[in-house]
Amino acid sequence: MWTPYPMSPRRRFLAGLLDGHVDRTPVASATSVANLDQMARTGAAFPDVHLQGPLMARLAAGAHTILGYDAIMPYFSVCAEAAALGAEVDWGSRDDMPAVVAPPWEAPAQVTIPAGFLDRAPVRAVLEALRILRAEHGEHVALIGKVMGPWTLAYHLHGVQPFLLETLTDPARVRAFLEALAPVTLAFGRAQIAAGADVLCIADHATGDLISARMYREFLLPYHRRITTALGCPTVLHICGNTLDRLGDIATAGFDGFHFESRVDARAAVERVAGRISLMGNVNNAEGLLTGTPEAVAAQARYAQEAGVRIVGPECAIPLATPTENLLAIREAVTQSA
């Protein structure tokens, strides 16, 4: 059997995502792997990192310098675009993730992208962090950018409950929001690639907990196809929750990878996508990384690896109190299995 020579983390991650030969399974996450320990060790902490590019870059680099993962992803929250577009955001504390508290728009006609959108503090910080990380780590470690997709943006800028209700009562209004918000995803995504990202994660939370697979096909799948075509760069879709019933559709949307949760069994996911898209994840957060033992986490990582998950890592943004030894256990388990 042909064995590839040792790869750089960047090449390993990109080869894993794009279904190429790898020297071992890559370890990475398209969502945040920052925890309280990394904040203490890097001297960069929530909430300051969300609005200051140099601090964001310093904390994000811990994914590689402390955890030894093959990629770095600096956008820790899900609120940068919403804040830059006028939503009221609670940036939280050292122990809390930010959250949108007041969506600004009631109707699609209100959606506007200001001329200075990319220069507003929450967005500018992500772009500055990527430029710093490219200069310091980009030739060796893969850099993942992240944007909110139009479905998630509608949650943040119009409100989850009214938007979901309108999928039943006013489908045309839902499509009008998606049409108006897709350019935000494209503008911020293109800016992140220009700033140095190798890959773009599109976080678009059309989970089975909230909408049916039929609704995903009818409302969002056409926009995902448009977005992946327009971006033209390697892309990963992230959706929380149980997505098994829509994995077949996601595999046709043009994404190179899908970052998924542990609520979807890794073997079932690999079988469902049938090689059409690379899978990324799906080590459990709450019962594994946060409260489990390193041995239990390692067992989950090996299960995902043996199932055929191409890039192994946490299922979603990790709880901030996650022990570092549990995050290290993912890499150690995969490395030992190589």
Q: How confident is the model at residue 1 (pLDDT cuts 50, 70, 90)?
A: very low
Enter the tokens of residue 7: 């790869």
Query: Which has the closest alpha carbon to 142: 187, 97, 188, 201?
Result: 201
Task: Provide long-range contacts, Cβ within 8 A and 24+ apart, for 58-61.
Answer: 59/34, 60/34, 60/129, 60/133, 61/133, 61/136, 61/137
Q: How far apart are CA 55 and CA 176, in angstroms?
A: 37
Per-residue pLDDT at 2 exceeds 80: no
Q: How confident is the model at residue 42 (pLDDT cuts 50, 70, 90)?
A: very high
Bin 43: left if φ > 0, else alpha if -120 < ψ < 50, else beta: left
Enter the tokens of residue 292: 């489990």
Q: Which domains does the chain have, with CATH numbers?
A: 9-337 (3.20.20.210)
pTM of the complete model = 0.97
Q: How far apart are CA 273 and CA 252, in angstroms?
A: 9
Enter the tokens of residue 1: 């059997």
Give me the chain's average pLDDT, please: 96
Residue 237 near residue 30, CB atoms below 8 Å:
no
Residue 311 near residue 13, CB atoms below 8 Å:
yes
Per-residue pLDDT at 76 exceeds 50: yes
Q: Name the CA radius of gyration of the chain, rounded.
A: 19
Assign 239 to helix, strand or coil. coil
Phi, psi of 98, rounded to the nearest 5 degrees: -65, 160
Instruction: Supply the DSSP symbol for 218.
Output: I
Quick one: pLDDT at residue 102?
93
For 90-144, the pLDDT digits (tens) are: 999 999 999 999 999 999 999 999 999 999 999 999 999 999 999 999 899 999 9
| 314 residue type, one letter | P
Averaged pLDDT, 260-269: 97
For 212-232, the pLDDT digits (tens) are: 999 999 999 999 999 999 999
Could you tell me which residues come within 8 angstroms of residue 22 by beta carbon, excluding any fewer than 6 positions away? 4, 7, 12, 15, 16
DSSP states along 85-119: TT-EEE---TTS--EEEE---SSGGG----TTGGG
Quick one: pLDDT at residue 5?
76
Per-residue pLDDT at 3 exceeds 90: no
Per-residue pLDDT at 338 exceeds 80: no
Residue 277 near residue 256, CB atoms below 8 Å:
yes
Per-residue pLDDT at 316 exceeds 80: yes
Quick one: pLDDT at residue 4?
66
> Which residues lie across from 260 on neighbouring strands?
281
For 164-209, the pLDDT digits (tens) are: 999 999 999 999 999 999 999 999 999 999 999 999 999 999 999 9
Q: How far apart are CA 82 and CA 327, in angstroms?
A: 30
Cα dihedral angle (29, 30, 31, 33), rounded to 10 degrees?
A: 30
Q: How far apart are CA 296 and CA 310, in angstroms?
A: 20
193-231 in b/e burial notation, b at 16+ Cβ within 10 A?
A: bebbbbbbbbbbbbbbebbebebbeebbbebbebbbeeb
Per-residue pLDDT at 235 exceeds 80: yes
Quick one: pLDDT at residue 337?
78
Bin 90: left if φ > 0, else alpha if -120 < ψ < 50, else beta: beta
Per-residue pLDDT at 307 exceeds 50: yes
* Cα distances (angstroms) measured from residue 260 to each of 72, 175, 245, 269: 18, 25, 13, 9
- Vertex 107 angle, CA 228 and 84, to 5°: 60
Per-residue pLDDT at 238 exceeds 70: yes
| H/E element, 229 | helix 221-231
